């Protein structure tokens, strides 16, 4: 059924190509003109220069003008969001991520779940929702309701957390708050290990769900090792290292709040365990001061060094300098887990930065694993930009 109230934006000639390949973004330069009378977040139709309908999406002011919701004249109503969320949950069931011993997972990963601009992480019976586009901000109540109505998902509370993710200029004034339900405890389980998740004050949705598989892999390398978890945040890698039988685990983060969270999570799983200690210190300062050979398993999981393409050069230097310190100091036979979560840094660029750091140390280094984001952070094959997490596990002689 055609709804005549939906505005249609026309593309310039030849600009339909990427959309015909199902890429979900319309850049502002692709439009014949940037509409002035359409409110940000409105659902629009997109048509090729010859008038052929391409699909529907959320309009916004900025370099991405439309985030496509579907490549047909689909009605964007409550049923649409309920359907997409049900599909997203069906995938997580396929992945076996909702289990008594695993209650933390990503339910919606934006474009990877054909819901551009939306992120939903689930912690037990609470879903934390982040809108990255005005369109998703306006449908937050619909999404919250649909989440609590997902059969079998067991979501009772929905916390909306978009104060830092929405475009500042849109003046949407989002308030971080519960849309449905209220606080009902904040301990979630990941692969049988427990974590306090602080969605009220923590970064992102409170936890880095995306390192789940990589943390599990680290656990398998931990037995008998002295582990340094650099940039520990909530201590995910530290807890897995303790569970894996590490001899000693040192967690470092420049934020005192992160150090406190890490201590609380170590204590939650291994009360009174003296193998672990956490230190609030700058990464470079700690790496410079530590003794050669003090650790035989090191994790480097820094924040995104390049948030934008313009910062790429400095970011690559940063990765090289950081990794060089680890190669210089890690004990012989050591294992280095090193990551980049910068979307602007490609897998190849990251690898080159790590390789030049290794070469600087003149040590023999071999790649054991090449890591990425887990399956609950899927990448739409039509939107390769959705791949952001890169990691290498290296054996250093």
Nearest to 316 by CA among 282, 285, 347: 347
- Is 343 near ligand SAH (CB under 6 A)? no
Residues 6+ apart with CB under 8 A from 16: 48, 49, 52, 54
Tell me the CB-side half-sphere exposure of residue 242, using CA atoms within 13 A: 25
Q: Which of 227, 228, 300, 341 is catalytic?
A: 341
- Is 301 near ligand SAH (CB under 6 A)? yes
Name residue 106's beta-bridge partners: 121
**Separation CA 51–CA 49 (nearest Å):** 5
**Is the CB of 150 or the CB of 353 nearer to ligand SAH?**
353
**Is the CB of 254 or the CB of 360 nearer to ligand SAH?**
254
Residue among 237, 240, 305, 327 that touches ligand SAH (CB under 6 A): 237
Interacting stretch for ligand SAH, rule CB under 6 A, among 65-73, 79-87, 169-177, 226-234? 226-234
Give the C-alpha distances (Å, rounded to integers) separating 265 from 10, 279, 331: 53, 14, 27
The 53-59 sheet, strands edge to edge: 8-10, 43-47, 53-59, 64-70, 25-27
**Is the CB of 236 or the CB of 374 nearer to ligand SAH?**
236
- Is 283 near ligand SAH (CB under 6 A)? yes
Instruction: Report residue 40: phi and psi, to 5°.
Output: -60, 140
**Separation CA 156–CA 353 (nearest Å):** 45
Q: Residue 303 Cβ, how far from ligand SAH at the closest point, in Å?
A: 4
Interacting stretch for ligand SAH, rule CB under 6 A, among 167-175, 252-260, 324-332, 354-362? 252-260
Provide the 3-class DSSP secondary structure of residue 25.
Answer: strand
Q: Say if residues 301 and 342 touch (Cβ distance below 8 Å).
A: no
Residue among 211, 262, 323, 380 that touches ligand SAH (CB under 6 A): 211
**Is the CB of 234 or the CB of 380 nearer to ligand SAH?**
234
**Is the CB of 283 or the CB of 312 nearer to ligand SAH?**
283
Residue among 258, 266, 389, 392 that touches ligand SAH (CB under 6 A): 258
- Is 319 near ligand SAH (CB under 6 A)? no
Kind plus residue range of the DSSP H or E element containing 123: strand 118-123
- Is 236 near ligand SAH (CB under 6 A)? yes
Residue among 62, 245, 303, 333 that touches ligand SAH (CB under 6 A): 303
- Is 231 near ligand SAH (CB under 6 A)? yes
Instruction: Report residue 27: phi and psi, to 5°.
Output: -80, 150
Residue among 189, 254, 346, 372 that touches ligand SAH (CB under 6 A): 254
- Is 340 near ligand SAH (CB under 6 A)? no
Residue among 282, 309, 332, 367 that touches ligand SAH (CB under 6 A): 282
Residues 6+ apart with CB under 8 A from 123: 103, 104, 186, 188, 197, 199, 206, 207
**Is the CB of 120 or the CB of 287 nearer to ligand SAH?**
287
Taking each helix axis from N to C end, the angle separating 140-148 and 78-94, rounded to the nearest 10 degrees, works out to: 50
N-term to C-term CA, the chain: 66
Q: Residue 286 Cβ, how far from ligand SAH at the closest point, in Å?
A: 7
CB count within 10 Å of CB 352 equals: 14
Q: Residue 262 Cβ, how far from ligand SAH at the closest point, in Å?
A: 9
Distance of CA 198 to the CA centre of its chain: 16
Residue for token pair 């059924």: 1
Instruction: Check if 341 is active-site.
Output: yes
Interacting stretch for ligand SAH, rule CB under 6 A, among 157-165, 247-255, 366-374, 384-392? 247-255
Name residue 10's beta-bridge partners: 47
- Is 233 near ligand SAH (CB under 6 A)? yes
**Is the CB of 157 or the CB of 211 nearer to ligand SAH?**
211
Which stretches of the chain bind ligand SAH, using CB under 6 A? 208, 211, 231-234, 236-237, 253-255, 258, 282-283, 301-303
Among all residues, which ones are annotated catalytic?
341
């Amino acid at each position: 059924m055609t709804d005549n109230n939906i505005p249609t934006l026309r593309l310039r000639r030849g600009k339909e190509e990427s959309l015909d390949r199902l890429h979900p973004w319309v850049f502002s330069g692709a439009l014949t003109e940037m509409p002035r009378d359409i409110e940000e977040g409105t659902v629009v139709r997109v048509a090729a220069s010859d008038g052929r309908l391409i699909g529907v999406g959320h309009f916004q002011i900025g370099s991405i003008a439309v985030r496509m919701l579907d490549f047909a004249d689909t009605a964007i109503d409550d049923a649409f969001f309920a359907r997409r969320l049900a599909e997203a949950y069906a995938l997580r069931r396929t992945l076996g991520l909702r289990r008594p011993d695993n209650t933390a997972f990503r339910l919606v990963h934006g474009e990877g779940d054909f819901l551009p601009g939306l992120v939903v992480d689930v912690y037990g019976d609470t879903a934390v929702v982040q809108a990255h586009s005005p369109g998703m901000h306006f449908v937050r109540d619909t999404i919250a309701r649909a989440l609590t109505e997902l059969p079998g998902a067991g979501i009772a509370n929905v916390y909306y957390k978009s104060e830092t993710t929405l475009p500042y200029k849109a003046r949407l004034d989002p308030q971080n708050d519960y849309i449905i339900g209220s606080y009902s405890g904040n301990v979630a389980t990941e692969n049988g290990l427990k974590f306090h998740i602080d969605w009220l004050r923590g970064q992102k949705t409170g936890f880095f769900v995306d390192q789940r598989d990589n943390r599990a892999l680290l656990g398998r390398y931990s037995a008998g090792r002295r582990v340094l978890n650099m940039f520990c945040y909530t201590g995910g890698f530290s807890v897995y290292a303790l569970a894996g039988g590490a001899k000693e685990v040192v967690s470092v983060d420049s934020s005192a709040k992160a150090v406190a969270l890490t201590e609380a999570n170590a204590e939650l799983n291994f009360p009174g365990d003296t193998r672990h200690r956490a230190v609030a210190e700058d990464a470079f300062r700690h790496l410079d001061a530590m003794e050669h050979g003090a650790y035989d398993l090191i994790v480097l999981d820094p924040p995104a060094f390049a948030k934008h393409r313009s910062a790429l050069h400095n970011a690559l230097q940063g990765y090289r300098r950081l990794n060089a310190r680890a190669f210089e100091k890690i004990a012989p036979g050591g294992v280095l887990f090193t990551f980049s979560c910068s979307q602007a840094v490609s897998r190849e660029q990251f690898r080159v930065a790590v390789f030049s750091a290794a070469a600087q140390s003149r040590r023999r280094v071999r790649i054991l694993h090449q890591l990425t984001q887990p399956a609950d952070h899927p990448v739409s094959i039509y939107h390769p930009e959705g791949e952001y997490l890169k990691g290498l596990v290296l054996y250093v002689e």
